[in-house]
Amino acid sequence: MSRLADDPSVVQRIFDHIDNRSTDRGESSWREPVEHYRSEPRHRRELDQVLRRSPTPFCPSAALGEPGAYVARTAAGVPLIAVRGKDMTVRVFRNACRHRGMQLADGSGCKRAFVCPYHAWTYDLDGRLRGVPHEDGFPGLDKGTHGLVPVDAVEMHGLVFVTQHGPAPAAAALDELTGIVGPGHRLVSTSELEIAANWKIVAEGFMEGYHLNALHTDTFFAIQYDNLNVIERFGENSRITFPYRRIEGLRDVPAAERSARGVLTYVYHLFPNAMLITFATNVTLAVVEPVGVDHSRLVSYVLTQRDLSQPAERDTFERDLRFIASGTAQDRDAAIAIQRGLAAEANDFFEFGRFEGAIVHFHRNLRARLGEAAG
């Protein structure tokens, strides 16, 4: 049974909040030490003990649509390659040749095999070492033990999850994602945005609507509400609901028939560093990848079911993307300004209030994974 409310229940909670001028409140506030956003030792522990040991979405299944299709990028500081094999199974490998460690691929594309650009060692799509030029120069080389090094990966709910150290997630643990990304979704675009801020600061920006009016006056606030969210938790994850003002059009619709489609955005925070976001015309997978203690990369995959061959559909889709990008730019600038503000040494702690319950849930789980006392 799902631990998340269905659409009619969420819509009713939103109407109750609108009528009562309220929002979901967490059970308590939270004080997060500023040092946790600038400490190199803490950052290394987050990478080693949390990000590399958590099942994290690496890319959508739609990015690997045919045998040989691959996505190569860095996840939690580790270069990886995800590839769909000839048997249509997705596998993920550490992106390093077993000869001298050269990275085999970058970006995305489609290959029949991976050929190292340094000495042309060649690997099949299942990771097996197939060919070594001038193999007689490597007496005793066992090709069976020199294939690409795999990491645990599982494909479910239209996403490819990777766990670098530890087992892949149980399917039931993420049942709440069923149907968000379906077979009809196509990958439209992939982008990477460099942000000079700690990964946690960037992630926090997705998890609360307390800032809508102040930061997004001319973007998201124009169609949404300030400080009005429904916040739900499932395991270490959260779902934060951002309603649009046009939800008022559902007032006269029978309660059981109310749908969330087109009247709100669901942000699924998939602990620790990924967001699956539903918009009116697309679903976006956003992964916040730590690059350094004060630098992150936001990797985004945009998927849609819309027929973009139709001019009207494409115009609406592209207009929505431009609108989302304008709001995202404001969030990026805010994250950078927060990181810069750390140098002012004005705060020993960040004070997260009861309106920011999803952030509190995030930090509580992060602390628990690191074996630290709660804030």
**Domains contained in the chain, CATH given:** 7-54+172-370 (3.90.380.10), 56-168 (2.102.10.10)
Using an 8 Å Cβ cutoff, are 249 and 262 in contact? Answer: no
Distance of CA 370 to the CA centre of its chain: 21
pLDDT at 171: 63
Using an 8 Å Cβ cutoff, are 255 and 2 in contact? Answer: no
Please state the pTM of the whole predicted model. 0.96
How far, in Å, CA of 77 to CA of 54, rounded? Answer: 14
- The helix (H) or strand (E) run that includes residue 48 is helix 40-49
pLDDT in tens, 56-65: 999 999 999 9
pLDDT in tens, 332-363: 999 999 999 999 999 999 999 999 999 999 99
Report which of 55, 56, 3 is spatially closest to residue 234, judged by C-alpha positions. 3
Report which of 87, 73, 143 is spatially closest to residue 291, judged by C-alpha positions. 73
Using an 8 Å Cβ cutoff, are 124 and 130 in contact? Answer: yes
Burial of 317 by CB count in 10 Å (0-12 exposed, 13-18 middle, 19+ buried)? buried
How far, in Å, CA of 62 to CA of 84, rounded? Answer: 11
pLDDT in tens, 147-173: 999 999 999 999 999 999 977 666 667
pLDDT surpasses 50 at 1: no
Using an 8 Å Cβ cutoff, are 332 and 340 in contact? Answer: no
Q: Residue 311, Cβ neighbours under 10 Å: how many?
A: 8
pLDDT in tens, 229-255: 999 999 999 999 999 999 999 999 999
pLDDT in tens, 280-294: 999 999 999 999 999
